[in-house]
A and B are shown apart, each in its own frame.
Chain A
Amino acid sequence: MKLPLEWLREHVATDLDDSALAERLTATGTAVERTIERGIPATGANREAFRIGKVLSAEQHPDADRLRVLSVDTGDESPRQIVCGAPNVAAGQTVAVALPGAVMPGGQKLGKAKLRGVESLGMVLSASELELAEESEGIMVLADDLAAGTPVLDVLPPPGTILELELTPNRGDCQGIYGIAREVHAITGAPLHQLDTALPPEDGAGQVGDYVSLRVDAPDLCPRYMARVLLDVRVGPSPEWMVRRLEAAGMRSINNVVDITNYVMLLTAQPLHAFDLDRLAGPGIVVRRALDGETITTLDGQDRTLSADHLVIADTEKPAVIAGIFGAEFAEVSEGTTRVLLEAATFDGPSIIRTSLGLGLRTESSARFEKGQPADLPPVAMAIACRLMHELAGASLVPGALDEQAAVDGPAPITLRHARVATILGTDISADEAAGILERLGCTVQPGDDAHVVTVPWWRTADLLREIDLIEEVGRVHGLDRIPAVLPRLEAHAALTPEQQVVRRLSRYAADQGLSEAITYRFVPDHDADRLGLPSDDERRKVVRITNALSDEMAVMRRSLVPGLLRAVERNQAHQRRDGGIFEVGRTYVPGNDGLADEPEEITALMFGAPGARGWRQSPAEVDVWAATGLAIALAGAVGVEAQAIAGLRQPWMHPVRQARITAGGIVVGVAGELHPAVLRDFGVRGPVAALTLMVRELVKVRPADPRRYTDLISVPVSTRDLALLIPDTVTAAHVLDVAREAGGHLVRGAEVFDHYAGDQVPDGRVSLAIRLTIAEPGRTLTDDEIDGVTQRAVAALGDQVGAELRS
């Protein structure tokens, strides 16, 4: 909201200068977003330097067609010579003149000048140069009764400073200049001038009911409707001061009648509407819901179709206004209007918001109605508007008002306990200070030893309802900046949950392996499921679906992190990134009951090309299934989980046989493998891409809870035995190790693959696999026989169970 300070200061006599006032407003919650300075700076020097002048003569410049050489009386002993380029300048005019030394709006200082060889001792000003108008053609010609030499600042006060305010939604009362004046009174103590709400003489003929009828069919949406009739209205231009104030507040002048409604709205926050009474059918006003499909041609010339959700102010035949928002062309005040029906009403805020959003129409009026208006406001605005109509448009007010009002209770008194103020604010504010603040805000305070009983003024009944609301006001006006900052002494103890610890460790570990963390949109296109090749009956096609998605690309909540990361890989490859690793830790969304969801967290990593550390004598390998399983098992290990890659998984988006289930503690904790080339193709990604996913909940489930116990494998010898085996190529390494471990019994501390080979010198259908068994028992030295026994049992079992033979 734009607040011209010149207008504000008419209502509240604060000593604070513009910037101090802006600071105080901000500090108490009326945030000043921007300060706009307009017009000539009102300094003492400028009082002398800007003067009214009389153009005594205007001669053609000898060397320039478009310039005139003027002789201007500016109140000095002799006239001064001024060169002027304005086409409308003429002898006999009264004008505004800036003399050398004048500081113009914007700050530049005027000097003497020579124009085409002729000296100019000043400048004749246009309205735009004085920042009294947005634009102007030629110089500003003033009334002839102004004396030469009069300071311009005295007769054309500059629009001055305008503050742009950001109002909080609870302060509907501040949407008018007078509301801010009340606020300034409360926060500075500056005297507030009462609004003059006396009606002009009710000298129109008859009674209001003789001219128009009123029926309110929708009192739920229109708690109060008030109207008056004015006769003998002379529509014409508004006076200069009103035009300037409207412009300073951001509105354009239309004609005196419309300007008065806007002016009073800007002042009081009560929107008004003026109808040409003679164009209303009936004449009668009906406040009702629109009929479905009913149309209205609004002032902007647009035809709009209404529905029963919309409230309209209609005549006896058709809608004349979309209530509180926008008027119809046909009933507007125009040049020929002589009889005006003036409306001041209150409407249901949420209904105004719905209508405004639904029709895409937000106006100065609707913005004010959105917050809901107090029922006592319409008569105030009506009185001021009627008086201005009388003064500026010569109107005669018809006695009486149409006024339909739903019954409202007056505000209930609120008890404000002194102790409670300190309990909430943490600082001592005396009962007297609190009472003083509330009284300045317009409250009535009955002081008490333990508590005040407070009645709030009619303009604050919407937001001051409870004790806490009053405490906020007391704190706000007292100054929240004056309350000390104290760190509470906590007796709380805190630690991350296991899930949080696991997530932190997984992320850190992945990053330390050279992968970077991405955050991708959690809403994804519906067709991700197709692109991943999920069968039509796959459970993972069940998704949380957004009803009002921004686009098809953001239609459903993800079930997997893979598609989002694939899109990221695609973008990286699009700018020639060949190798890389990227991961994300985040939720997936499994639909549950009543539209809610289960939201398990997972880490997914994608590696593409040949990522990893690259140097002048090292180069990483292209990723494959083992890049994925290796990192998956390392990540699990980083959170204390010993995991294994198990064959036989068939996820449709992965290479059919180069994928593994990652298991630990007897459950599946994740998957790892190469992505399916068809999936890569559909996402526009070049292979190879290796991927892994680990599920956080599952990792937490199998993570050893207790601290691991120390095993003494230091004071006893630890033996290793290597077995070179030929195994059928259908047997997996994991199975071989399992068999060896099991057969070896508890003495086997570890079993690992250290070589794998197929090809020359290995018969078809067989693979050469070398495994190493680590054999020891804590606290005891094993005999050679015991150690040999282990390997013999292992070899025998491998022969029996997997058809392995020992290579010689």
Chain B
Amino acid sequence: MSGIPDLSALADQAIAEISSAADLEALEAARVRFVGRKAPLTELLGSIGTLPPEDRGRVGKEGNAARRAIEAALDTRHEALEAEAMGAALESDTADVTLPGNAYPLGALHPITQVRLEVEDIFLGMGYSVADGPEVETGFNNFTALNTPDGHPARSESDTFFVEGGDDVLLRTQTSPVQIRTMQQGPPPVYVIAPGTVYRRDDVDATHSPMFHQVEGLAVDEGLTFAHLKGTITYFLQRLLGDRDVRVIPHFFPFTEPSVDVSVSWTDKQGRTDWLEVAGAGMVDPNVFANVGYDPERWTGFAFGFGLDRIAMIRHQISDIRLLYEGDLRFLEQFS
């Protein structure tokens, strides 16, 4: 049969050319040449009616197959070239990724606040509530009800700030009066901690501040013993300060008996391990229960207290307490 091109060869040639088209422009030229309106294949398929009837079926079938194959090759090549072009464009769009990204602000909670929140969370997890009381407090709640009678040196003008216009009204010297207030509010069981600001009449220096922070803890229930005090304080200190040894040694506080000093093992920068005193604790003195109307025969309990400033200073190796109260952003922003 003459006059009818070899369609399969035509397709092969077209596909080969398309596949090697270097760019979208060359590809378009190939499209026009092979399947454009004036392309031989297009014209052939458009003139099928002029062919002898016996050829029409075959040419139509083969011609359409060739066209589909060519068009598929065009699509494939088009996608490949587009991807290539996008790749090239992206490659040239360089950036110094080490330049700072967009800046976002990040301030800091005060280190004392951070320690306080941790302490609160540990005790909340154990079922304790967080209690609170006024800082301008009565001498009764701050001292008398806690077994520190009138005339005790701690109640003197040299140790305690007093408030004008009140009879023995003072700035609380400890968070312990919150114990009294909590117990006066209702019957046991009581499981509370009371973080707060306290005041003592100390001149400001590297280790003293007339205002500082404490946390008081109080548990009153049936069957609470010194063993529970030891368990609670040990668990708490290990959660807060890491897995250290905790030691209790007998001490004296007016409102607990027995009373203990609590220390944790601590290794300093020189590698020496020593005991670091961090808290005071004890079994609530029966007199304190009597002062708030609890029956000391039925209820027992323990109390503990420690300084947040001290813990924050130990944790962050801060050697001067004044830094905590100066509002110096160079200091504060280190704790974000």
Q: A residues engaging B (CB < 8 A)?
A: 26-29, 31, 168-171, 350, 353-354, 357, 422-427, 466, 468-469, 471-472, 475-476, 480-481, 483-488, 490-497, 500, 504, 507-508, 510-523, 544-550, 554, 557, 564-565, 567-569, 571-572, 575, 577, 580-583, 586-587, 589, 591, 594-597, 599, 611-616, 618
| Other-chain contact of B113, A497, A517, A589 (Cβ < 8 Å) | A517
Q: A residues within 8 A CB of B249? A: 26-29, 31, 480-481
Q: A residues within 8 A CB of B127? A: 490-494
Nearest-CB residue, chain A, relative to B333: A516
In the complex, B271 has a CB within 8 A of chain A: no
Q: B residues within 8 A CB of A519? A: 110, 112-113, 324-325, 327
| Other-chain contact of B163, A423, A544, A577 (Cβ < 8 Å) | A544
A519 to B165, CA, bound (A): 27
30 contacts between A and B (CB under 8 A): A29-B251, A31-B249, A170-B252, A357-B153, A422-B225, A423-B300, A424-B226, A424-B258, A427-B225, A472-B259, A488-B219, A488-B224, A494-B123, A494-B130, A496-B120, A496-B130, A510-B107, A514-B107, A516-B110, A516-B329, A519-B113, A523-B161, A523-B199, A547-B162, A547-B164, A572-B329, A582-B327, A596-B136, A615-B102, A618-B103
Judging by beta carbons under 8 Å apart, are B169 and A595 in contact?
A: yes
Q: B residues within 8 A CB of A491? A: 127, 189
Judging by beta carbons under 8 Å apart, are B225 and A522 in contact?
A: no
A586 to B161, CA, bound (A): 19
Judging by beta carbons under 8 Å apart, are A595 and B167 in contact?
A: yes
> Shortest Cβ distance from A608 into chain B, in angstroms?
10
Judging by beta carbons under 8 Å apart, are A546 and B162 in contact?
A: yes
Judging by beta carbons under 8 Å apart, are A518 and B332 in contact?
A: yes
**What DSSP secondary structure best describes chain B's contact surface?**
mixed
Most chain A CB within a 10 A radius of its CB, from B102, B171, B219, B247 = B171
Q: A residues within 8 A CB of B105? A: 512-515, 611-613
Judging by beta carbons under 8 Å apart, are A350 and B250 in contact?
A: no
> Shortest Cβ distance from B64 into chain A, in angstroms?
48
Judging by beta carbons under 8 Å apart, are A616 and B100 in contact?
A: yes
Judging by beta carbons under 8 Å apart, are B107 and A581 in contact?
A: yes
Judging by beta carbons under 8 Å apart, are B226 and A426 in contact?
A: yes
Nearest-CB residue, chain B, relative to A513: B105
Binary contact readout B153-176 vs A (1 if CB under 8 angstroms, 0 otherwise): 100111001111111010100000
Residues 159-217 of B at the A interface (beta carbon under 8 Å) = 161-167, 169, 171, 189, 191, 197, 199, 201, 203-204, 210-211
Interface segment out of the listed B42-50, B70-78, B228-236? B228-236
Judging by beta carbons under 8 Å apart, are A484 and B169 in contact?
A: no
Judging by beta carbons under 8 Å apart, are B135 and A599 in contact?
A: yes
Judging by beta carbons under 8 Å apart, are A468 and B128 in contact?
A: no
> Shortest Cβ distance from B63 into chain A, in angstroms?
52
Question: What 4 pairs across the A-B complex have the smallest Cβ distances?
Answer: A595-B166, A514-B105, A426-B225, A568-B327
Q: A residues within 8 A CB of B167? A: 594-595
> Shortest Cβ distance from A523 into chain B, in angstroms?
7
Judging by beta carbons under 8 Å apart, are B113 and A613 in contact?
A: no
Judging by beta carbons under 8 Å apart, are A472 and B257 in contact?
A: yes
In the complex, B129 has a CB within 8 A of chain A: yes
Residues 125-141 of B at the A interface (beta carbon under 8 Å) = 126-130, 134-136, 138
Judging by beta carbons under 8 Å apart, are B128 and A512 in contact?
A: no
A34 to B153, CA, bound (A): 26
Q: A residues within 8 A CB of B85? A: none
> Shortest Cβ distance from B150 into chain A, in angstroms?
9
> Shortest Cβ distance from B162 into chain A, in angstroms?
5
Nearest-CB residue, chain B, relative to A568: B327
A701 to B93, CA, bound (A): 55
Judging by beta carbons under 8 Å apart, are B258 and A488 in contact?
A: no
Binary contact readout B251-278 vs A (1 if CB under 8 angstroms, 0 otherwise): 1100001111100000000000000000
> Shortest Cβ distance from A170 into chain B, in angstroms?
5
| Other-chain contact of B164, A354, A515, A575, A595 (Cβ < 8 Å) | A595
In the complex, B240 has a CB within 8 A of chain A: no
A571 to B106, CA, bound (A): 21
In the complex, B326 has a CB within 8 A of chain A: yes
